[in-house]
Amino acid sequence: MTVEVPAVAAVTPPGTTTTPPPDNTQTAPVTAPVTAPSTGSDAAATAAAARDAWLAGLSDENRELAKKKNWADQNAVLKSYSELEKMKSAAAPETPAPVTYKADDFAFKLPDNANDIGYSEGFATAFKETLAKVPGITPDAANAIHDWYVGYATEQYGTQTTAYAEALDTRLVETEAALTKAWGATNNPTFTRNLELASRALTNLGVMDAAVEAGLLLKVGEATKVTNAAFMQAFAKVGQAMYAEDAIHGAPATGVNPFDPKTESQAQQGALIKSDPQKALLLIQALPPAQQEMWKPVMDSIRARAQKRGQ
């Protein structure tokens, strides 16, 4: 058997202070109340409110576009734009730099009607140099442009030539009508004599070439055509004054025409044909038409020599 000592409460003498034993327990910290996380419906409502506020700041047109594209904020817009730029960059191939050619790379064929249209080697060279300054012009394209120009110039030349020929024909007809009105028909002696007198005056005064250059006369092959009636009438009068010794029908003042069968003189004929062929021609033309025929080779020879001399 064991003996236990009974517990006795400590007695504090009167007048003394008792210190309580230290409290070894810890006080729990005070924390803020914890809020429960928002539910899914609350987050959607917040996002919708933010989207509506952003949309409200847009113009009507942009607001409709944003709704159509389902853009919720500016970040969505920028993302969409960035994706579009990437798509464009991927779809658009790089454009190669145009090939540049030199003038020597072009070769043009000289047109057959070069003189008619004013085409020359100098023009062809300038044409090549001009095209060489245009990037991307290939030799085939240059030839196409060149051929188009030649065709256009040829067409214009044809049009102008036709118009000129028509105008000239009209002028020649009007001139002949004016001269026949003044001198009679072209096959009568008066007409022939006046024409020869005018030609003789023009030749001896040295103004035949000037008249051609001025367009008063026109050289057509070996022939010289009259294009101004008043001019020829004036020089016919000049010729008449210069050769007043000729009778009105071409006979000399003595009344003797060595080409007339009645007063024929072969010596005078030869001398006149050699020394003054134009006068001989006038005297022959003073004969009746039937008699002129026998002298036709001589007349043709005199005219041919005059044409050859540019008379």
Give 220-257 pLDDT, tens digit per residue.
Answer: 877 788 999 999 999 888 888 777 555 444 444 445 78
* HSE-up (13 A, CA, CB side) for residue 5: 3
Question: What is the C-alpha separation between 133 and 129, in angstroms, rounded?
Answer: 7
- Give the residue-averaged pLDDT of 266-295: 82
In this prediction, residues 137-159 reach a mean pLDDT of 91
Q: 80 pLDDT exceeds 60?
A: yes
Quickly state the pLDDT bin for 10 (edges 50, 70, 90): very low
Confidence at residue 176, expressed as pLDDT on a 0 to 100 scale: 92
Listed in sequence order, the DSSP H helices in the chain are: 40-56, 60-69, 74-91, 114-117, 121-132, 139-183, 189-204, 208-213, 229-242, 266-275, 277-285, 289-294, 296-308
Which pLDDT belongs to residue 223?
78
Q: If we measure between CA atoms, which residue out of 233, 234, 226 comes closest to residue 168?
A: 226
Higher pLDDT, 179 or 87: 179
pLDDT at 26 over 90: no
Paired strand residues for 223: 220
> Average pLDDT of 121-127?
90
Q: How confident is the model at residue 310 (pLDDT cuts 50, 70, 90)?
A: low
Of the candidates 97, 96, 119, which has an alpha carbon nearest to the alpha carbon of residue 109? 119
Name the band, by pLDDT with cuts 50, 70 and 90, for residue 32: very low
Q: Name the residue type at position 272.
A: L
Instruction: Give the mean pLDDT of 24-31.
Output: 50
Confidence of residue 173 (pLDDT cuts 50, 70, 90): very high
Q: How far apart are CA 283 and CA 293, in angstroms?
A: 13
- Lowest-confidence range among 38-47, 55-64, 227-236? 38-47
Mean of per-residue pLDDT scores for the chain:
79
Residue type for 152, please? Answer: Y
Give the pLDDT confidence score for residue 153 in this predicted structure. Answer: 93
Mean pLDDT of 147-163: 92
The per-residue pLDDT for 4 is 46
User: Could you tell me the pLDDT band of residue 84, with boundaries at 50, 70 and 90?
Assistant: confident
> Rounded distance, CA 59 to CA 72, Å?
15
pTM of the model: 0.45
